[in-house]
Amino acid sequence: MPLSASQLYYEEHGDGEPLVLIPGFAAGSWIWYRQIGPLAQSFRVITFDPRGIANSPGRSQPLTISHLVDDIADLLRELKIEEAHILGASFGGFVAQEFALKYPKMTRSLSLCCTSFGGPNHVAPSMETLAAIVSTDGFNTRERIQRNLLPAFSPEYVRDHPEEVERVIDLRVANTLSEDVYRSQLATAVSFNAESRAHAIEAATLVLTGDADAIVPMQNSINLASKIPAAELQTVAGGSHLFFIEQPDEFNRIVTKFLRRQ
């Protein structure tokens, strides 16, 4: 697809009610490679690269959640979409929450996956895991990317599906971003706090988590679901932070069932 008027690279797949997939930290549309085909059988799936990532150029001003939220709203307007199902994973879940709060009439439903309301009551990962995530040594090298991504998988998946793990690493290597954009997203993530505002989310909301998530522990999803009036919580047994890659059939089934009820 070409760039949108707001300079956002996007793709559309399938027909039906529009569904926007918001990628997580330092990721682009490539992260949804196990969702696009299956979900496009029922929905008009819209994926995109956030500003400064992969095919979307960056901007000179510092990155904020509001910039990312407005980029999505601008894209939907350009596509003449008045409302859409919004799904975000991890950092993308932060963006999705803010979108639902700022643009409630554009939010047909909300799906928040492996994410949190942030702030001081966010349940953090282990220090070892956190260190692997924030390290920028050898920034765009394969070695550093591998070190960054491995904690997001379950150890069993890394052992039993090395080819799929390598595929994800290859995709991240091929879809570059600058260290400035990475640090900007990181600062935005650290400062995010929607705990006191989540109660104002009006949309029917699916909060979906894996019970073996080492990056955003499951308790975050339990806490988040308790704050949103129209939320339902579902858990994938054995699900890692990248459970939508490790267990795509289960993930896609749960999401599709939820969206069809809205």
**Phi-psi label, residue 16: left if phi above 0, alpha if psi -120 to 50, beta otherwise:** left
Confidence tier at 115 by pLDDT (50, 70, 90): very high
- What is the residue-averaged pLDDT of the chain? 94
Hey, what domains does the chain have and what are their CATH numbers?
A: 9-260 (3.40.50.1820)
Inter-axis angle of helices 65-78 and 91-102, to 10 degrees?
70
pLDDT at 20: 98
Confidence tier at 180 by pLDDT (50, 70, 90): confident
Q: CB of 20 within 8 A of CB of 85?
A: yes
Chain segment 46-67, per-residue pLDDT in tens:
999 999 999 998 865 678 899 9
SS3 category, 148: helix
Rounded Cα–Cα distance for residues 204 and 197 (Å): 16
Chain segment 225-250, per-residue pLDDT in tens:
999 999 999 999 999 999 999 999 99
Q: What is the pTM of this model?
A: 0.96
Name the strand (E) or helix (H) holding 173.
helix 162-174
pLDDT at 1: 63
Choice between 113 and 5, residue whose per-residue pLDDT is larger:
113
| CB-count burial class (<10 Å; 0-12, 13-18, 19+) for 183 | middle
SS3 category, 99: helix
Contacts of 147 (CB under 8 A, 6+ apart): 132, 135
pLDDT at 100: 98
Q: How far is CA 253 from CA 39, 234, 235, 256, in A?
A: 9, 12, 13, 5
Confidence tier at 79 by pLDDT (50, 70, 90): very high
